[in-house]
Amino acid sequence: MDNILHKSLFGKGMIPIYSRLADLSATRHKVVASNIANVNTEGYEKRQFDFDKELRKAIDKPSVPGVTTHQNHIPLGNSPEGAPKIESVKKSDNDTGVNSVDIDEEMSNLAQNQITFEFGADMLARKFKSLKSAIRGSQ
C-alpha cells in the first residue's frame, strides 16, 4: 500500500520533473565549478554535458512505463535515469589561453544555473506545500 501511495503522489505530474531539474542543476554546478577551478591549469579540458537533452528525457518519459515480457519486444520509454554523460571539450587552435576554459562563459553558466536550480527548488517546494495543504484540509 505504501509503495502504491508513493508512486501515485510522487511518481506522476511535475514532481519528478522538478526533482530531475534540481538533480541536473546540481550536476551542472559541479561541472562548471570544476571548470572555473581549473581555469589556469595548463592542458585542462573543459567539461560539459547537454543539460537540455537530459531534461528532455525526464519530460518525455511516458507516465506509464512499458514492460517487455519477451526478448523480441520493443522497449518503451527512456532508459533508467542516471548521471548525464559529461564530455571534455578540446582546445581549438584559435584559443589563446592555457586550456579550453573561458572564464566569462563559465561565470555566465554558473549564474544561469543558479537561477535554474532556484526555480526547480521553488516549484518543488510549492508542489509539496500544496500537497501538505490538501492533506491537512482547509483550516
Other Cβ atoms within 10 Å of 95 Cβ, number = 12
Least confident of 3-12, 30-39, 60-69, 130-139: 3-12
The domain ranges of the chain are: 2-60+78-133
pLDDT of amino acid 29: 95
Other Cβ atoms within 10 Å of 132 Cβ, number = 9
- Are the C-beta atoms of residues 61 and 19 closer than 8 Å to each other? no
**130 pLDDT above the threshold of 70:** yes
pLDDT in tens, 41-99: 998 999 999 999 988 887 886 555 566 777 776 665 544 456 788 898 887 655 667 78
pTM, whole model, 2 decimals?
Answer: 0.71
pLDDT of amino acid 1: 46
- Give the span between the Cα atoms of 119 and 113, in whole angstroms: 10
pLDDT of amino acid 137: 80
47: enclosing H helix or E strand: strand 46-48
